[in-house]
Structure formats: structure tokens, C-alpha cells
Amino acid sequence: MIVLTILAALFLPYLIIYLYKNAYNKPKNFPPGPPSLPVYGAFWIVLAHGFTDLATAFKKLGEKYKTKIIGLYMGPVPTIVLNDPELIKEMLNREEFDGRMDIIIFRLRSFWKKLGIFFTDGYFWHQQRRFSLRYLRDYGFGRRCEDLESVVATEVKEMIDLRIGGPKYPAEMDIVKGDLVYMPYFFAIPFLNGMLQVFSRSTLPRSEYKALWALTRGTVLFQRSSTDMGGALSLTPWLKDILPNYSGYNDLVKGNQYLLNFFKKLINEAMETHDETYDRHFLDMYITKMKEEMREKDKTTYSVDQLILTCTDYTFPAASAVQFVLTILVERLLLQPEIQDKIHEEIDRVVGRDRLPNLDDRRNMPYLEACIRETMRYDTTVPLSVPHRAMKDTTLAGYDVPEGTMVSANLTMLHMDKDIWGDPENFRPERFLKNGELDLASDKSLPFGAGRRLCAGETYARQSMFQVFAGFMQTFHVSTADGKPLLKPSKRIQGIITTIPEFWVKVTVRE
């Protein structure tokens, strides 16, 4: 016992010295930031500054270290977080920062491979992104398309009828109860059937909406189980084996499986009926290209699994992000009823009640458009963006950035910068208007990112959000389910995207 005590006494100083050196051991000329602690590095300190809101945590750390570019270690990974709007724009537009991190939450969603569009990089990403965007445009993704606009309009009519006419099928009873509707799921169908139209030139009928609501629930479960920077599971992947529930691993797998199963079925049906002499839709075009590559090349980036992940990636925002943008806007109408009155006045003046608003009306309805933009600014959709990776040794703001460094843009700091917005703490759609018209020059927000990693679905998202919300507000007035005034916003849930707790809202037909 005495020997052990002596050994411990001798060993303890060396351990303290080692931990101290490791805590402050950073690459040469690395940005200032918190020290590293065992196992998770500075992640412990980040969590201490904002356990449920990492964007706010990094804001506090920037203030503490008096820097707008924070350098730290997340576990073993050198990491830089940008709190400065100009540095954020610079990084997003520099090719050497186009890389993606290779972490467990990205692997588990893609058959434990590096597949898809969002989380791949290099030659693979270039090839797959170029092909998919080139041919998805033929079916309306990324541009104005009458067929796609017509499909979304049809689904908006069905959405309206679901509330007015009431449920026809069992699954609809979970979404509409009398004059109450369940957010965000009430908004889901137009976005998802719109994406199905893009992929397969077909949509699911109302009797099969259950599958689309399940898709949304799975997507929400997945993204809420992921923290902005990967979290403990990504830093210590072995947690999936010993704490699968507590680490969020089981929820990630369960949520992702909804997406994979849905698109496996859709693509298998396309494969079974595929005819290389005639392309019916995007899925056919991809399958034709895949078979051609497999015949002519020893190695190809095209595969059935990659097609599944391509569809999954492009659908992910439609199954979660855009629905929650509109849901958060509905909550804002309950907090500031005068905004609802202004939207109704604009719709009645520009469109009336005899037809649905269409994309031609968008330029003449600047206030509604400004409300959507202000929602994405005020509640940043992806607060810390999807993490980037430095693909080679480089510099940023005078600091050295080693190859492999994770770089994250704190978009919340950009969207709440007083020098840009003046009064960012106020929800004020008028900031995007000038002389009664939409002033795009005043919109410095980046809800879809920037550079080559700009969200490919921006055009589809903006167009479909306008169609869905304009049609919804043309017909309905919203109020709280219990009839009491809403005095404060609900607690935000920060995962990959910003969401709020699902809620029932009273939706009455306007007189």
C-alpha cells in the first residue's frame, strides 16, 4: 500500500504536467480559444457555455477570448469557428474550405460509406452534384417550372381541403381535429410531393399521405438527434455500442431508416421497369448513366446506393427545414397578430379570393416574402452551418489553418449583427422592403449558405414556401388552440436545423 502511494505521488506531477501541456498544445499560429480537456477536448467547455445552443456558446467564447475567429480542439480534431460576418462569407466562398468532415452521423446514414451530396467532397462530390443538378433542372428543381408549380398548387388545394373538409383517412386524424391542425406536419405534403414530382414525375395520392408524414417524422427525429458539431457520438463513436440510446445513436438510425426505406422502394420500382431507350424521369436518367458507367469503366461513382442518398439529401430540407420555417412563422403571427393582418391585406389586394396565389404574384407580394426571409434570419435555419473541412494547409484572417481542420460558420452571429441589421433582436419584416417593394440588396442573410456549398434546393425552397404559405394565409386565420394570447416564443430545439416543439394551432376559414 505504501509502495502504491509513493508511485502515485511520483506519477501525479507528471500527469498534471502532461494534461497542462496537452490543454494548450495547438498548431502554430492557430486562432485563440479555450484549452483542451481529456477525451472531448474543448467540447466540455463549449457545452458549459451553452449546452443546448452551441451557436450561443461560441458567441460567448468569442466574447471571452476577444476574438471573432475561435480556435479549439473538438476531441482530436482542430476546429475553427467563425463569428465574423465577413470571415464567414470569405470562408464559404473559398474552394479550399469545400471539404466535409468524415464522422459517424454522416456514415451511418449512407450504408457506412461516403455517399450522397451534402456530406461528400472532392472528385466524387463534383461528379455527383454536377450530374444531379444538371438533370434535376429538367424537372423543375432550381428553376421556374410550370409542371412543378402546378403540382405544388394541387397539393396546396388538398392541404386546404383537409382542414375545411376534414379527414378522410385514418392518418389524417393525427393532423387535423376539427378546427385544429398539427404543425409542422400540416405543411408537409406539398413540399414532399413536389420533390417526388422532381424525381419520378409522380406523386402520392391522399390515401397514401401517411408515408409522407412518416418521412417527415423520421427526418425530424434524425436531425434532432444530431448536434451542430457532431457531438459526443462523433467524437467517441464507440458510444454507439455501449450507450446506443443515451448517445442518440438509436434515434439517428431509426430516423434515417424512414428515408432509406422510402427511396429504396421508389428506386427499386424504377429499376424493375427501366428501359434504356426511354427516360421517363430523373431516376431513369441516373439508372441509364449508372449502367453505362458500369459497362465501360472499372470504377464509377454511380450506384444504386448513391442514387438513394442523392434523393435522400435533396429531400431532407423539404422534409424538415422548410416546414419548420413556416411553422415558426405561424408562431410569430400568434406573437405579433398585426403581421397576420398585413399579410391578409396584401393577399386580398393582389390576388383576391377567387384563385390561389401563384409564382407570378410573388413579385407583387413583397410583405409576405419579407416575412419568410425575416423568419429565416431571426431563427437561423442552420445555426452553425454544415461543418466544412480545410482540404489543404491554408490561412484565414492571418492565422494558419492546417489541412483537415473543421471550420464552422456561426450564421447566427451574421444574422444578429447590429452593424448589418440595426435592431436584429426585433422581428421586423419591413427591413427587407424599400418604397413598398422587396429590396434584395438589403438582404445580407445567408440561410442557404454561400459559395459552391450553397444549398442546391434554395430556389425550390423559396418558391414552394411562397406557394404554400400564400395559399394557406389566403384561406385561413390562425389563433392559439386555447384562445389565449401567446406571450412568448417556444423553446428552440437545436439539432442540425432549428426547430420548435410540434403544436396544435386553431385554423379558421376567413370571412
Do strands 77-82 and 180-183 pair parallel, antiparallel, or not at all (unpaired)? unpaired
With a CB cutoff of 8 Å and minimum separation 6, the contacts of 306 are 115, 116, 128
Q: Are 282 and 147 in contact (CB under 8 A)?
A: no
Q: How many CB atoms lie within 10 A of CB 171?
A: 18
Q: Does residue 145 have a known ligand-binding role?
A: no
Q: How many CB atoms lie within 10 A of CB 45?
A: 18
User: How far is 295 from 214, CA to CA, in rounded Å?
Assistant: 37
With a CB cutoff of 8 Å and minimum separation 6, the contacts of 199 are 139, 266, 281, 282, 283, 311
User: In this structure, what C-alpha cell is assigned to residue 235?
Assistant: 467524437
Return the amino acid letter for 129: R
Q: Can you say whether the dihedral through the CA atoms of 28, 30, 35, 40 is positive or negative?
A: negative
Q: How many residues does the chain have?
A: 511
**What's the DSSP call for residue 186?**
G
User: How far is 196 from 266, CA to CA, in rounded Å?
Assistant: 9
228 exposure class (CB count in 10 Å sphere: 0-12, 13-18, 19+): buried
Return the amino acid letter for 428: R
Do strands 406-409 and 437-438 pair parallel, antiparallel, or not at all (unpaired)? unpaired
Q: How many CB atoms lie within 10 A of CB 158?
A: 17
Q: Are 378 and 390 in contact (CB under 8 A)?
A: no
CA dihedral 458, 97, 69, 24 (to 10 degrees): 140
CA angle (395, 401, 402) in 5-degree steps: 130
Q: How many CB atoms lie within 10 A of CB 52?
A: 12
Binding-site entries: 455
Question: Which residue numbers belong to the known binding site for heme?
Answer: 455
